[in-house]
Amino acid sequence: MLKSKTFLKKTRAGGVMKIIDVLEDPAIRNVIVLQTVLQEVRNRSAPVYKRIRDLTSNQEKHFYTFTNEHHRETYIEQKQGENANDRNDRAIRVAAKWYNEHLKKMSAENELQVILITNDRKNKEKAIEEGIPAFTCEEYVKSLTANPELIDRLACLSEEGNEIESGKIIFSEHLPLSKLQQGIKSGTYLQGTFRASRENYLEATVWVHGDAEENKEASIILQGLKNLNRAIHEDIVAVELLPKNQWVAPSSVVLQDEGQNEDDVEKEEETERILKTAVNEKMLKPTGRVVGIIKRNWRPYCGMLSKSDIKESRRHLFTPAEKRIPRIRIETRQASALEGRRIIVAIDGWPRNSRYPNGHFVKNLGEVGDKETETEVLLLEHDVPHQPFSQAVLSFLPKMPWSITEKDMKNREDLRHLCVCSVDPPGCTDIDDALHCRELENGNLEVGVHIADVSHFIRPGNALDQESARRGTTVYLCEKRIDMVPELLSSNLCSLRCNVDRYLCLFFHKNIVVTILTDSHEQLLSISPHRLAFSCIWEMNHNAEILKTRFTKSAINSKASLTYAEAQMRIDSATMNDDITISLRGLNKLAKILKRRRIEKGALTLSSPEVRFHMDSETHDPIDLQTKELRETNSMVEEFMLLANISVAKKIHEEFSEHALLRKHPAPPPSNYEILVKATKSKNLEVKTDTAKALADSLDQADSATFPYLNTLLRILATRCMMQAVYFCSGMDNDFHHYGLASPIYTHFTSPIRRYADIIVHRLLAVAIGADCTYPELTDKHKLADLCKNLNFRHKMAQYAQRASVAFHTQLFFKSKGIVSEEAYILFVKKNAIVVLIPKYGLEGTVFFEEKDKPKPRLIYDDEIPSLKIENTVFHIFDKVKVKIMLDSSNLQHQKIRMSLVEPQIPGISIPTNTSNMDISEPEKKKKKLEK
């Protein structure tokens, strides 16, 4: 066993990245990180640098930094002819030697010894020659006999290292970076982001960097294992375009990597032939192959271990939860203990002669299927920051009890006399917005949208502001809310709740309420019913035409916190005529006019099925699953939020033409609409996609008396054709248009409790009206563009995390419900499957027609219609079918809702209606294989 005082060294940041998982283990303590090493890591990898900084700030770990570059006895000059790396190696040895001598001088009885950890063979030899105790990371870890599990966390040290025994070369060599850069410069190669397909593990798309106008095709298709050439989802790659006679069309086959033989590529080549079928020449897309990796964007991956069938084997395959990531080979001595557990694995490299990359075990998260474990997995997989807020962040919260002071009222209008109310989903505690409507003496109407003044509490640049910016958005899961700001702000001081609501509502998916009241919770609630707001107030005539607009910081007192259903009941009631109800009726009447006018201008009314879970109050398991019901009041609130966002966008752009944070929705390219056009044509309808207005009118006219649900299906399909809306800085872009809303300019102002973009917009608006002062970052368009990039990423990840949470809870629901049969409609037709939507549950799933170890049916796919003929039955998009829904638990890693065809009846394909009411259990295949 080595002495307890250890010394961390790695001259290359890549080396530290290889051992960071070991360093984070609780068994590793008393480590000194040199400034030389820290600087190199900072330059090479921001995430690893942050992980090391987190270690140095963890008092229990006893990690220390030593500023050897600023110490007179350890600083060294670079010698003539010495490269930077050799100089840094020498600096580390000098610091290690000095530290040992320093400890001896402190006390002759001091037995502590500094050791140098390095994986650089030459540096280790030189250190030993100079009398410095030095070890490789592997040597040191193996010496920790009390912690044998640490060996699993050691990374393979080279990209091509740890070659498998077969030695058969599968992939072509990656070109060196210098050749890639020359090729990109000359136009021989194209640089882009590698995006693996979720549906087909043998297909990917590379989104080419740069202006799409400069590159005639903004994306390149890659098909086949060898053309993917060891690239992993989100890597930055260099691709070479193949000759036009080798171009392919995007595959319509659903393929999942289910092979058990980790290096059997012959079957892979057989599978690849399925992709290459005759297609119309118009369908062909630019196709290429990966020739090199410019930047690896690997991260730790959550998933499960697939234990090897070979007894006593230490080599096993890890299957990531994210289907776009290939399986990873790891070596571990804990395979039996890790079976049936969710674990984290990191990739170390991908040799040319290996079907899969090599990696190492990092962490055991917990049992598969456990709600807490699965929630942790989906948060980690979608990179959702979810750690508790640090003390540094919490220190910037206002002291309780809090109330509005005279200082707070400076540059603020007192609107507490107005009849303001909020309308939200049931159980909502983070109430951003409230509304009022009243008649003025001149006969016109005054309408106000009042938004929580979060920017009053979150000041620029402090730890609370930085953490909110990093998180970017609140993430709503089915049973949990990951707040962007601490709860004291989100559910209390900033929340525009009325004074009547004195209980604490625990939030579950914005539609499930559990009410709890304790003394400690009551103490959390602010005594004052008054709230600080940022108000957008219009004077309108009764035809909803805006006559005046003004913005002011304000103080309000919400008179009611209503649900959509409660607000609707008031509007519809023949007996209620109080001020709140009159205000709501006025708002609803104006909202209908505003909506009609928006649609006339070309705004799209699209559809996306949203599900609502009803939870058991004790177990919190889902006991019912329904699609959400939308009322007039939902639309009422939406219309005024849209109007406020547009009004604020115009104002901040007037004042900050180069620095306004705006939101745009790009028009989809014509190719996006191909599936929608074909689908409508198959139903003898026509859809025009030249403009948003033409599309909106087409969708309005696409009705069928015999098929009332058709219009909803068309709108759902149209939603899938849309581009992603994004934040951007006005000084960095010329196209401001929001396609879906048919608005020339738009931003987000109305949800600052849950969106950081809105906080920036509040700050811009406050400066514009003279209610607050500016600061340098607010008018730096490059910093604002970087902020927008993070916000777009966080919003996208939040959406994916929310969908994953819904998918998991849907599995729990059908696990308890068993097998059910329901009517469904076909959304997409694939070469070997149909994708269906079940209106009752708002649930989408795939019905496969080819199953392993079963006779293959005769399938004829026609991409032009599109249709799929199975035996003598033809399926088209929007056809009505009946399916059986069940939980398929045969693959613990990817438990899924499985759908099978019931009607129409196809011999050998359809399932009889009297199938037993139980889910598919774990497979016996593996056991049978072992018995042989």
Question: Is the pTM here over 0.85, yes or no?
Answer: no
pLDDT of residue 518 exceeding 50, the answer is no
pLDDT of residue 884 exceeding 60, the answer is yes
DSSP at 493: I
pLDDT at 230: 94
- Spatial contact of 810 and 614, defined as CB atoms under 8 Å apart: no
pLDDT at 1: 30
Burial 736-752 (b: 16+ CB within 10 A, else e): bebbbbbbebbbbbbbb
% the chain with pLDDT above 70 = 85
Cα–Cα distance between 418 and 416 in angstroms, integer? Answer: 6
**Mean pLDDT estimate for the chain:** 84
Cα–Cα distance between 246 and 254 in angstroms, integer? Answer: 22
pLDDT of residue 9 exceeding 60, the answer is no
Cα–Cα distance between 674 and 349 in angstroms, integer? Answer: 40
Find residue 428's DSSP bridge partners.
none
Cα–Cα distance between 800 and 795 in angstroms, integer? Answer: 9
Residue pLDDT, tens place only, 116-136: 888 888 888 888 888 888 888
User: Can you point out the beta strands (E) in 807-928?
Assistant: 820-829, 833-838, 843-848, 859-862, 867-870, 873-876, 880-888, 896-903
- Spatial contact of 293 and 192, defined as CB atoms under 8 Å apart: no
Q: What single-letter amino acid sits at 681? A: K
pLDDT at 913: 66
**Residues 235-249: what's their mean pLDDT?**
92
Residue pLDDT, tens place only, 891-929: 666 677 888 999 998 888 888 766 544 444 444 443 333
Q: Which residue has the higher pLDDT, 423 or 108?
A: 423
**Residues 790-801: what's their mean pLDDT?**
95
Concatenating the DSSP letter of every residue in 112-160 gives: ----EE---HHHHHHHHHTT--EE-HHHHHHH-TT-GGGGGGPPPSSTT
The winner for highest mean pLDDT among 103-112, 453-462, 848-857 is: 453-462
pLDDT at 471: 96
Q: Binning pLDDT at 50, 70 and 90, where does residue 507 land?
A: very low
Q: Which residue has the higher pLDDT, 754 or 842?
A: 754
pLDDT at 825: 93
| Contacts of 639 by beta carbon, 8 Å cutoff, 6+ apart | 590, 591, 594, 595, 598
pLDDT of residue 839 exceeding 50, the answer is yes
Q: Tokens at residue 649, please?
A: 């966008």
Residue pLDDT, tens place only, 673-724: 988 998 888 888 889 998 899 999 998 888 888 888 888 899 989 998 999 9
pLDDT at 502: 27
Q: Which of 273-277, 357-361, 518-522, 560-564 has the lowest mean pLDDT?
A: 518-522
pLDDT of residue 195 exceeding 80, the answer is yes
pLDDT at 527: 45
pLDDT of residue 609 exceeding 90, the answer is no
Q: Which domains does the chain have, with CATH numbers?
A: 13-151 (3.40.50.1010), 177-258+267-295 (2.40.50.690), 300-368 (2.40.50.700), 632-805 (no CATH), 818-903 (2.40.50.140)
- In degrees to the nearest 10, what's the CA dihedral of 710, 716, 719, 720? -110
**Residues 188-216: what's their mean pLDDT?**
81
pLDDT at 925: 41
**Residues 100-111: what's their mean pLDDT?**
73
Q: Which residue has the higher pLDDT, 221 or 58?
A: 221
Put the strands of the sheet holding 420-424 in their side by side order.
413-414, 546-556, 531-540, 445-452, 433-439, 420-424, 558-563
Cα–Cα distance between 931 and 192 in angstroms, integer? Answer: 48
Cα–Cα distance between 115 and 112 in angstroms, integer? Answer: 10
pLDDT at 522: 37
pLDDT at 929: 37
The winner for highest mean pLDDT among 37-51, 80-94, 134-148, 465-479 is: 465-479
pLDDT at 273: 64
DSSP at 600: H
**Residues 733-737: what's their mean pLDDT?**
91
